[in-house]
């Protein structure tokens, strides 16, 4: 039971990562590698700020701003420096590894004996792990609602159009490069926020905690799509959050089956690969069924 509640809480906190990645991966249509640096960057900034006596809420917002800064860097390298966006993300991700070490002063920084966001008296009064569910649900709700409102503004519609068809966007006077920077800033802001919250929930930040997070974010997006099928764009944001929770349960089941936690990364990769292949496999099977029926009808 406790493990289930914990999975929901972690799923919601990682859901922000999925939603942040959704902006670049699904709306703008490219995989943003910055994520692997942004997530620990947010964690490092939040934890360092708290250990320096800054209020946890402010520290959490600082994690988000740090993420936005990372996204801005990738965006400018890509649009002004004309570095392919995939490579720009990898460069920023690599650079951030050193920056994260500088921010923390060491590879792993604990929040032991430091009050963080989850030490709020109200959250403390809740049963074990329910605090992360509450924080995750509140933050996810705010973020998803804000994004839905944004996507329905004139700017938001231009943002979607720039990802959907850059040529058309340009012919309507929308600069796709500006929209790309906007998406990277917003997306990485959410990913930094996710890192900052996860670090506080875990009680530490680690310089290696970014390894494989892009897979976690993509898994949330794709599990949401596989489970819910055709949805509107607004609904897909929510589906991503739910996909993130489901992904936590998949990991939980895998561990329950007796797999070694050391194997989690390869299992994550396999889960994502399978989830991406499911719709293709399904459509292929359907084609076969149609062919079979066709043969029957003629025979």
Judged by the rule CB under 8 A, the positions of this chain that interact with other proteins are 150, 152-158, 160-161, 164-165, 167-175, 233
Q: How far is the CB of 233 from other proteins (least distance, A)?
A: 8
Contact 40, 214 (CB under 8 A): no
Secondary element (H or E) of residue 212: none
Query: Measured between alpha carbons, how far is 205 from 168 in angstroms, rounded to an integer?
Result: 43
Q: What angle do CA 26, 27, 29 make, to 5 degrees?
A: 60
Q: How far is the CB of 290 from other proteins (least distance, A)?
A: 20
Determine whether 177 is exposed, middle or buried from the number of CB atoms within 10 Å of its CB (0-12, 13-18, 19+).
middle
Nearer to other proteins, 130 or 233 (CB): 233
Q: How far is the CB of 174 from other proteins (least distance, A)?
A: 7
Secondary element (H or E) of residue 183: helix 176-202
Nearer to other proteins, 82 or 296 (CB): 82
Nearer to other proteins, 171 or 298 (CB): 171
Query: Measured between alpha carbons, how far is 187 from 21 in angstroms, rounded to an integer?
Result: 6
Q: Could you tell me which residues come within 8 angstroms of residue 291 by beta carbon, excluding any fewer than 6 positions away?
A: none
Q: How far is the CB of 89 from other proteins (least distance, A)?
A: 23
Nearer to other proteins, 90 or 178 (CB): 178
Query: Measured between alpha carbons, how far is 10 from 272 in angstroms, rounded to an integer?
Result: 18
Q: How far is the CB of 26 from other proteins (least distance, A)?
A: 10
Nearer to other proteins, 168 or 269 (CB): 168
Q: How far is the CB of 184 from other proteins (least distance, A)?
A: 17
Nearest to 8 by CA among 245, 295, 275, 288: 245
* CA distance readout (Å), 178 to 31, 76, 197, 241: 17, 9, 29, 27
Q: How far is the CB of 153 from other proteins (least distance, A)?
A: 5
SS3 assignment, position 32: coil
Nearer to other proteins, 173 or 258 (CB): 173
Nearer to other proteins, 128 or 155 (CB): 155
């Amino acid at each position: 039971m406790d493990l289930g509640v914990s999975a929901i809480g972690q799923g919601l906190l990682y859901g922000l990562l999925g939603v942040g990645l959704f902006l670049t991966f699904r709306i703008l249509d490219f995989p943003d590698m910055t994520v692997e640096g942004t997530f620990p960057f947010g964690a490092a900034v939040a934890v360092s700020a708290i250990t320096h006596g800054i209020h946890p809420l402010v520290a959490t917002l600082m994690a988000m701003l740090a993420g936005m800064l990372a996204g801005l860097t990738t965006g400018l390298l890509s649009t002004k420096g004309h570095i392919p966006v995939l490579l720009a993300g990898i460069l920023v991700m690599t650079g951030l590894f050193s920056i994260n070490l500088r921010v923390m002063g060491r590879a792993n920084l604990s929040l032991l004996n430091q009050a963080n966001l989850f030490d709020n008296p109200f959250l403390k009064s809740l049963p074990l792990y329910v605090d992360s569910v509450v924080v995750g649900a509140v933050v996810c709700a705010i973020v998803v609602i804000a994004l839905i409102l944004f996507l329905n503004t004139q700017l938001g519609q231009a943002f979607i159009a720039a990802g959907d068809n850059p040529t058309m966007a340009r012919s309507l006077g929308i600069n796709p490069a500006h929209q790309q920077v906007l998406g990277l800033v917003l997306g990485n802001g959410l990913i930094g926020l996710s890192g900052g919250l996860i670090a506080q929930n875990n009680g530490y930040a680690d310089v290696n905690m970014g390894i494989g997070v892009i897979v976690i974010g993509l898994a949330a997006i794709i599990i949401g799509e596989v489970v819910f099928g055709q949805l509107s764009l607004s609904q897909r944001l929510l589906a991503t959050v739910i996909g993130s929770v489901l992904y936590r349960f998949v990991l939980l089941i895998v561990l329950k089956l007796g797999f070694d936690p050391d194997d989690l990364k390869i299992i994550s990769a396999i889960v994502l690969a399978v989830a991406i292949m499911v719709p293709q496999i399904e459509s292929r099977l359907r084609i076969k069924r149609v062919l079979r029926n066709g043969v029957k009808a003629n025979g």
